[in-house]
């Protein structure tokens, strides 16, 4: 099928975990003819949903990696980017969002808007993604899509409008009333594939006509033609669609669909909604940074959809397939064909497009070219995810995706020699795929350390090593990424002198250190009159930089420090690069304690939601973990507690919460800030650090 | 200025003196005024003053959203810090907010018993040893005298101070009775230990003690509400 840009959609399906996102995706693939059988997420048939292509995801019933898959519906070509629902993997979510033009926000008609929904919605907002809502699970006991719609307004501040109302709920859920056509839509056949359109049942007519008026009101806000048509009583469906479409693309209106993916209700009508209301790639402005621009004001370049313009594309996802590295790309400008020459704007490495692929959920299709706006995949390209590729004449970069610093680390040890090689291979791959996942070898303990955004994040990678690379590793205890920071200004005056026969070493540095409110490290050279020769100033900087990597308190990096060098002394013969580096290191060690250093720890923003009856238990559990309760909100029988809790205290919280609340409460957490460690804890950490050092010295 | 001076010189000390040491533990105080005069600001100022003294406070809100209330606290703190040139403002701020919890209830269908149960859960379960509870947005029009009696009993049992705000609605009838008691609160006076009203008189807002435990009330205080900062200030 040849598609024009108007017929293209790049969408994501964003949702709270367990709101049925994977089931919904599965149904979309089924109805669009991509797959021929329906499997369930927690597959009783042992197959699992098609989008969950990793064993691990299959086992846990969750989707971790975002794969792009291509479907066709209503004459449109839709790329679906399956985004993970767990907050620990937000980098994956954020990276997928970057390449979306629109999204379906899936909500559970029983649970409604929950804290993860709020997180996901906030991310969509950050990347200006227009969205439609799908209220799923209308077949469940307690389903109340109208209440969920109210929550969209109250909790997410969406200006939402019902496109449908349900025909029956819970086990009586039969279909939906389409408020544009004013018809009842039923989904017949074994898998709901036969759509039957009938008159609206008598008992729903009054409500439907009232809701349709609301819809007309909402849509006419965005279309004068519709307003006129309403006044002149010549409303057409197309006019309504156009109004809703404009409101949606302007991100001022959220059309609401509903149904039950599990019971095969309402999925096709929602697909119609995707095609009708979400933007095509030409309707979204995309901006790149021109790296050659000298003035900051000229840096932002708006990309054009012209297929003849020089190509600009973003590698947003890497995957290891049986045939080597597969790189998912989104084309923002120009056309990519076999043989197109591209430059990686980060490494400036040139490369030629070999195989170009379109990904379906279970197979890949070779294609000869792909145009701006489309999503495809390349084979045999060496890059990291997040890299931009351009035609050789350009030097653009797509705006960098915000990458948070890892907050937790874990020592891993391969179980044998074979596992060692495999582990190295796996780590190399993972760090390329996921910028929030890092690894290094600790020089003192010779251990391999992996770092990430949460316990589960690291767990998943350890599991993947085992499954995908057959690398068994033993893990240590998760370790929180502490920091050290000084709290006051202090002066140093340090002379490094060594006379041991042969060339001596001499360097003297004078200056002060002070806390830096923003930033990690700053070195200021205020030495006048050549008291330290020019060539040795970088040596001092280097020495300081090296020494702040490990603070004296517990051996964690010192952050937020400004070092000002004001004076010094040198020796014609004995001064050297090394001597000044050593002087800088010595000076910092001398001054550090005087600057009243303290230990900082990552503090997480934790939200716990559940029935009110467990509020006391939840308050207690947070208090026990050195947490501060910021607020609690009670609405009927439902309560939400927001708290700030040190990450080091959060280990095992999901288990504790489950047992305290009989599994009825859940929590989310994300990194909030670095906070000061209380004195008693600081003492304990220092004690442990000394013991560790002593043990290593033996 | 350092924190201790700030506490000592707070205009709220005038309010305390005028009410025989303030409401005190086990007592119930009400701050009443028509809408938009500055009740919430006053309550937040009173709460912040307690936080400065390292006294834990629970702020209960029936109407406003949590982030809105947090903004109130941030604004009032900033004004105090600026006004009084507080030293180490950031550190003081981080220290005091640890003693503040905001609890939000949806009053429709939220029974007094349930609110009190949740408050008790916070105090005992959450080991949050509150010195005072501030209740903002409580609808006295819907409340029965027995509801307020339950709050009062709770204050006595938990040994803490309770502050309510009461919004007086203008509907043609006089707001205040002959002795300055708001008509809305007349049925509840048995439970109220200290009653203070705010009344806009031209550009200034008068602060008046209408009831002071069993003592004769002090009447109009030498305090005003600064219309710019909404802080309680001495009248000099």
Residues A140, A168: one domain? yes
Cross-chain Cβ contact B126/A636 below 8 Å = no
Report ipTM for this prediction.
0.86
Residue A361 sits in the same domain as residue A253 = no
8 Å CB contact of A631 and B103: yes
Pick among B96, B113, B121 to test the A interface (most A CBs inside 10 A): B121
Kindly determine whether residue B121 and residue A619, on different chains, have CB atoms separated by under 8 Å.
yes
CATH code for the domain of A603: 3.30.70.240
A519 is a domain residue: yes
Q: In whole angstroms, what is the distance from residue A227 CA to residue A235 CA?
A: 9
Hey, of A487, A629, A639, which one would you mutate to test binding to chain B, going by the most B CBs within 10 A of its CB? A629
Give residue A62's pLDDT band: very low, low, confident or very high (50, 70, 90). Answer: very low
Note whether A241 and A129 are same-domain residues: yes
CATH code for the domain of A357: 2.40.30.10
- What CATH number does residue A562 fall under? 3.30.230.10
CATH number at residue A93: 3.40.50.300
Query: Residue B226's closest CA among B67, B45, B52, B72?
Result: B45
Confidence of residue A93 (pLDDT cuts 50, 70, 90): low
The confidence score (pLDDT) of residue A399 equals 60
pLDDT of residue B199: 87
Q: Are residues A489 and A627 in the same domain?
A: no
Residues of B in contact with A115 (CB under 8 A): none
Per-residue tokens: A317: 């996802």
Mean pLDDT of B5-12: 82
Once rounded to an integer, what is the mean pLDDT over residues A523-548? 92
Is pLDDT at A606 greater than 50 in this prediction? yes
How confident is the model at residue A38, as a pLDDT? 54
Same domain for A36 and A61, yes or no, is yes
DSSP A20: S
pLDDT at A61 over 60: no
Asked if residue A108 is part of any domain, the answer here is yes
| Cβ-based neighbours of B115, under 8 Å, separated by 6 or more | B60, B105
Greater confidence (A14 vs A342) lies with A342
Say if residue A34's pLDDT is above 80.
Answer: no
A561 Cβ contact partners less than 8 Å away, ≥ 6 residues apart: A485, A486, A513, A514, A515, A516, A520, A521, A522, A548
Kind plus residue range of the DSSP H or E element containing B74: helix B66-83
Q: pLDDT confidence of A60, banded at 50, 70, 90?
A: very low
Determine the Cα–Cα distance for residues B80 and B12; give it in Å rounded to an integer: 12
pLDDT for res A692: 84
- Provide the pLDDT for residue A67: 61
Same domain, A151 and A256: yes
Mean pLDDT in residue range A550-555: 90
- Report d(CA A33, CA A191) in Å as an integer: 12
Q: What is the 3-state secondary structure (H, E, C) of B122-147?
A: HHHHCCCCCCEEEEECCCCCCCCHHH
- Among the residue ranges A448-457, A519-528, A549-558, A559-568, the one predicted with the least confidence is A448-457
Dihedral of the alpha carbons of A259, A265, A270, A272, in degrees to the nearest 10: -150
Residue A403 tokens read as: 């990458």
Q: What backbone phi and psi angles, to 5 degrees, belong to A84?
A: -70, 150
Domain boundary (A544, A569, A595) is at A595
Q: Which range has the worst mean pLDDT, A128-132, A573-577, B62-66, B106-110?
A: B106-110
Asked whether the predicted pLDDT for residue A58 surpasses 80, the reply is: no
Long-range CB contacts (< 8 A, 24+ apart) of B213-221?
A: B213/B19, B213/B20, B213/B27, B215/B20, B218/B18, B218/B19, B221/B14, B221/B15, B221/B18
Predicted local confidence at residue B49, as pLDDT: 92
> Mean per-residue pLDDT for A52-80?
63
In this complex, the residue of B66, B122, B127 whose CB is nearest that of residue A633 is: B66
| pLDDT tens, position by position, B222-232 | 888 777 777 88
Say how far apart CA A416 and CA A413 lie, in whole Å: 9
Q: Which residues touch A217 (CB under 8 Å, ≥6 apart)?
A: none
Q: Which residues contact A33 (CB under 8 A, 6 or more apart)?
A: A72
- In a shared domain, residues A296 and A386: yes
User: What range does the domain containing A346 cover?
Assistant: 287-398
At A44, the pLDDT band (50, 70, 90 cuts) reads: very low
Q: How far apart are CA A462 and CA A426, in angstroms?
A: 10
A39, A50 contact by CB (below 8 A)? yes
Q: What residues in B contact A617, CB-CB < 8 Å? A: 125
Predicted local confidence at residue A401, as pLDDT: 52
User: Which structural domains are found in chain B, ordered by start?
Assistant: 3-234 (3.40.50.300)
The domain that holds A470 is classified in CATH as: 3.30.70.870
| Residues A631, B104: C-beta atoms closer than 8 Å | yes
**Average pLDDT, integer, range A42-52:** 47
Distance from CA of B59 to the nearest CA of A (A): 9
Q: Considering chain A, what is the average pLDDT of its residues?
A: 83
Residue A287: predicted pLDDT = 81
Residue A687 lies in a domain: no
- CB spacing of B97 vs A628 below 8 angstroms: yes
In a domain, A261, yes or no: yes
User: Which pLDDT score is estimated for A263?
Assistant: 86
The confidence band for A554, taking pLDDT boundaries of 50, 70 and 90, is very high
Please provide residue A562's backbone torsions phi and psi, each rounded to the nearest 5 degrees: -110, 130
Residue A412 backbone phi and psi in degrees, to 5: -125, 150
Cα(B137)–Cα(B103) distance, integer angstroms: 12
Shortest distance, CA B153 to any CA of chain A (angstroms): 20
Nearest Cα to Cα of residue A627 among A607, A645, A606: A645
pLDDT at A568: 93
The H or E element that residue A689 is part of is helix A679-697
Q: Which of A70-79, A378-387, A460-469 has the lowest mean pLDDT?
A: A378-387
Residue A251 lies in a domain: yes
Residue A293 predicted with pLDDT over 50 = yes
Judge whether A207 and A237 are in contact, CB under 8 Å: no
Handedness of CA A562, A567, A572, A575 (dihedral sign): negative
Residues A623, B128: C-beta atoms closer than 8 Å: yes
Q: List alpha helices for A127-223, DSSP H.
A: 145-154, 202-220
With an 8 Å Cβ cutoff, the interface of chain B facing chain A consists of 66, 70, 97-98, 101-106, 109-110, 114, 118, 120-122, 124-128
Could you tell me if residue A644 is inside a domain? yes
- Same-domain pairing of A553 and A605: no
Predicted local distance difference test score (pLDDT) of residue B236:
56
In a domain? residue A694: no
Summarised one tens digit per residue, pLDDT across range A442-460 is: 776 788 899 887 777 888 8
CB contact under 8 A, B124 and A642: no
Among A634, A640, A665, the residue to mutate for chain B (most B Cβ within 10 A): A634
Q: What is residue A618's predicted lDDT score, i.e. its pLDDT?
A: 92
- By CB neighbour count within 10 A (0-12 exposed, 13-18 middle, 19+ buried), where does A45 fall? exposed
Mutate to test the interface with B, among A115, A517, A631 (most CBs of B within 10 A): A631
User: Is residue A473 domain-shared with residue A511, that is, in the same domain?
Assistant: no
Please provide the DSSP assignment of A301-347 as one string: EE----TTSPPEEEEEEEEEETTEEEEEEEEEESEEETT-EEEETTT
Q: Give domain status of residue A695, yes or no.
A: no
At A665 the pLDDT is 79
CA of A415, closest CA in chain B: separation in Å? 44
In a shared domain, residues A98 and A125 = yes
- Identify whether residues A307 and A379 lie together within a single domain: yes
* Band (B137; pLDDT cuts 50, 70, 90): confident
DSSP strand pairing (A312-321 vs A324-333): antiparallel
Closest CA to A344 of A304, A291, A305: A291
Statement: residue B144 has pLDDT above 90: no
Which whole-number Å values give the CA distances from A5 to A269, A364, A642, in the listed order?
22, 22, 44
Cα distance from B70 to chain A (closest Cα, Å)? Answer: 9
Pairwise CA distance, residues A390 & A343, whole Å: 5
> φ and ψ at A43, to 5 degrees?
-55, 115
Residues of chain A whose beta carbon is less than 8 angstroms from a beta carbon of chain B are 612, 615-620, 622-623, 628-636, 639, 642
Residue A57 pLDDT > 50, yes or no?
A: no
- Domain count for chain A: 5
The arithmetic mean of pLDDT across residues B8-32, rounded, is: 88
- pLDDT at B101 > cutoff 60: yes
Q: Cβ separation of B126 and A619 shorter than 8 Å?
A: yes
Which whole number is the average pLDDT over A544-558? 91
For residue A161, the distance in angstroms to the closest alpha carbon of chain B comes to 24
Q: Is the dihedral of CA A345, A351, A352, A358 positive or negative?
A: negative
pLDDT of residue B123: 93
Domain end call among A398, A419, A453: A398
Among A262, A283, A304, which residue terminates a domain?
A283
Quick one: average pLDDT of A652-668? 81
For residue B38, pLDDT beyond 80:
yes
Residue A112 gets which letter from DSSP? B
3-state SS of A527-569 is CCCCCCCHHHHHHHHHHHHHHCCCCCCCCCCECCEEEEEEEEE
Measured in angstroms, the CA of B118 and the nearest CA of chain A are apart by 7
pTM flag (> 0.80): no
Contacts of A628 in chain B (CB under 8 A): 97-98
- Pairs of residues, one from chain A and one from chain B, whose beta carbons lie less than 8 Å apart: 65
A528 with A570, same domain? yes
Is pLDDT at A99 greater than 50 in this prediction? yes
Distance of alpha carbon A388 from alpha carbon A99, whole angstroms? 12
């Amino acid at each position: 099928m040849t598609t024009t840009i108007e017929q293209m959609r790049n969408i994501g399906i964003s949702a709270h975990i367990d709101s049925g996102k994977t089931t919904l995706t599965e149904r979309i693939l089924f109805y669009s003819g991509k797959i021929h059988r329906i499997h369930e997420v927690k597959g009783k048939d042992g197959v699992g949903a098609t989008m969950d292509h990793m064993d691990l995801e299959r086992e846990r019933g969750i989707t971790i990696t975002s794969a792009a898959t291509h479907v066709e519906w209503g004459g449109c070509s839709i790329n679906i980017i399956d985004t993970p629902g767990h907050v620990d993997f937000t980098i994956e979510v954020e990276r997928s969002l970057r390449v979306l033009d629109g999204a379906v926000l899936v909500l559970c008609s029983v649970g409604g808007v929950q804290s993860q929904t709020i997180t996901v919605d906030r991310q969509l907002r950050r990347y200006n993604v227009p969205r439609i809502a799908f209220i799923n699970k209308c077949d469940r006991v307690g389903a109340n899509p109208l209440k969920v719609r109210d929550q969209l307004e109250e909790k997410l501040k969406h200006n939402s409008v019902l496109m449908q109302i349900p025909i029956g709920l819970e086990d009586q859920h039969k279909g939906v009333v389409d408020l544009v056509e004013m018809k009842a839509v039923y989904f017949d056949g074994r898998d709901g594939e036969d759509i039957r359109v009938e008159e609206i049942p008598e008992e729903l007519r009054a409500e439907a006509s009232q809701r349709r008026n609301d819809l007309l009101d909402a849509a006419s806000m965005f279309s004068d033609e519709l307003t006129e048509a309403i006044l002149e009583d010549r409303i057409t469906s197309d006019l309504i669609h156009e109004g809703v479409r404009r409101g949606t693309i302007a991100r001022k209106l959220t059309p609401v669909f509903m149904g039950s993916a599990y019971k095969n209700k309402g999925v096709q009508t929602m697909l119609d909604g995707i095609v009708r209301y979400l933007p095509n790639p030409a309707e979204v402005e995309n901006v790149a940074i021109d790296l050659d621009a000298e003035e900051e004001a000229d840096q932002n370049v708006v990309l054009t959809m012209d297929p003849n313009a020089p190509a600009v594309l973003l590698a947003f996802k890497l995957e290891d397939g049986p045939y080597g590295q597969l790189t998912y790309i989104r084309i923002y400008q120009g056309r990519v064909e076999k043989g197109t020459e591209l430059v990686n704007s980060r490494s400036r490495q040139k490369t030629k497009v070999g195989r170009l692929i379109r990904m379906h959920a279970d197979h890949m299709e070779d294609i000869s070219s792909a145009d701006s706006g489309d999503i495809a995949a390349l084979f045999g390209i060496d890059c990291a995810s997040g890299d931009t590729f351009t035609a050789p004449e350009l030097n653009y970069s797509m705006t960098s995706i915000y990458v948070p610093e890892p907050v937790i680390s874990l020592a891993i040890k391969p179980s044998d020699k074979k596992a060692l090689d495999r582990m190295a291979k796996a780590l190399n791959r993972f760090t390329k795929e996921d910028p929030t996942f890092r690894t290094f070898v600790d020089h003192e303990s010779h251990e391999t350390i992996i770092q990430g955004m949460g316990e589960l994040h690291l767990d998943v990678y350890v599991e993947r090593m085992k499954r995908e690379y057959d690398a068994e590793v033993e893990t240590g205890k998760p370790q929180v990424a502490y920091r050290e920071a000084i709290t006051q200004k202090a002066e140093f005056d340090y002379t490094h002198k060594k006379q041991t026969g042969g060339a001596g070493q001499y360097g003297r540095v004078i200056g002060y250190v002070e806390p830096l409110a923003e930033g990690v490290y700053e070195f200021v050279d205020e030495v006048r009159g050549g008291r330290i020769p020019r060539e040795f100033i970088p040596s001092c900087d280097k020495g300081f930089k090296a020494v702040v990597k490990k603070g004296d308190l517990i051996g964690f990096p010192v952050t937020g420090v400004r070092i000002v060098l004001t004076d010094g002394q040198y020796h014609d013969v004995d001064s050297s690069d090394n001597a000044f580096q050593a002087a800088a290191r010595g000076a910092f060690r001398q001054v550090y304690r005087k600057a009243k250093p303290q230990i900082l720890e990552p503090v997480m923003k934790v939200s716990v939601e559940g029935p009110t009856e467990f509020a006391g238990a939840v308050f207690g559990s947070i208090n026990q973990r050195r947490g501060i309760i910021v607020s609690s909100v009670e609405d009927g029988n439902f309560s939400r507690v927001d708290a700030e809790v040190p990450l080091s205290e959060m280990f095992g919280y999901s288990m504790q919460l489950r047992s305290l609340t009989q599994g009825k409460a859940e929590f989310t957490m994300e990194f909030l800030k670095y906070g000061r460690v209380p004195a008693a804890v600081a003492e304990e950490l220092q004690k442990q650090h000394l013991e560790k050092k002593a043990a290593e010295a033996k | 200025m350092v924190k201790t001076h700030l506490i000592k010189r707070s205009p709220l000390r005038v309010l305390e003196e005028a009410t025989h040491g303030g409401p005190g533990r086990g007592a119930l105080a009400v701050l009443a005024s028509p809408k938009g005069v500055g009740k919430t600001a006053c309550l937040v100022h009173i709460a912040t003053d307690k936080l400065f003294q390292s006294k834990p406070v629970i702020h209960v809100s029936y109407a406003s959203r949590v982030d809105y209330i947090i903004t109130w606290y941030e604004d009032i703190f900033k004004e105090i810090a600026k006004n009084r040139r507080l030293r180490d403002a950031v550190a003081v701020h981080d220290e005091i907010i640890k003693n503040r919890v905001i609890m939000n209830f949806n009053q429709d269908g939220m029974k007094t018993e349930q609110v009190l149960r949740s408050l008790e859960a916070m105090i005992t379960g959450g080991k949050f040893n509150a010195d005072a509870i501030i209740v903002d947005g409580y609808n006295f029009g819907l409340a029965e005298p027995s509801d307020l009696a339950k709050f009062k009993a709770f204050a006595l049992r938990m040994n803490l101070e309770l502050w309510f705000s009461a919004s007086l609605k203008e509907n043609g009838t006089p707001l205040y009775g002959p002795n300055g008691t708001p008509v809305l609160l007349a049925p509840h006076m048995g439970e109220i230990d200290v009653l203070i009203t705010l009344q806009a008189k031209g550009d200034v807002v008068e602060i008046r003690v209408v009831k002071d435990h069993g003592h004769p009330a002090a009447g109009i205080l030498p305090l005003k509400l600064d219309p710019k900062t909404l802080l309680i200030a001495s009248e000099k």
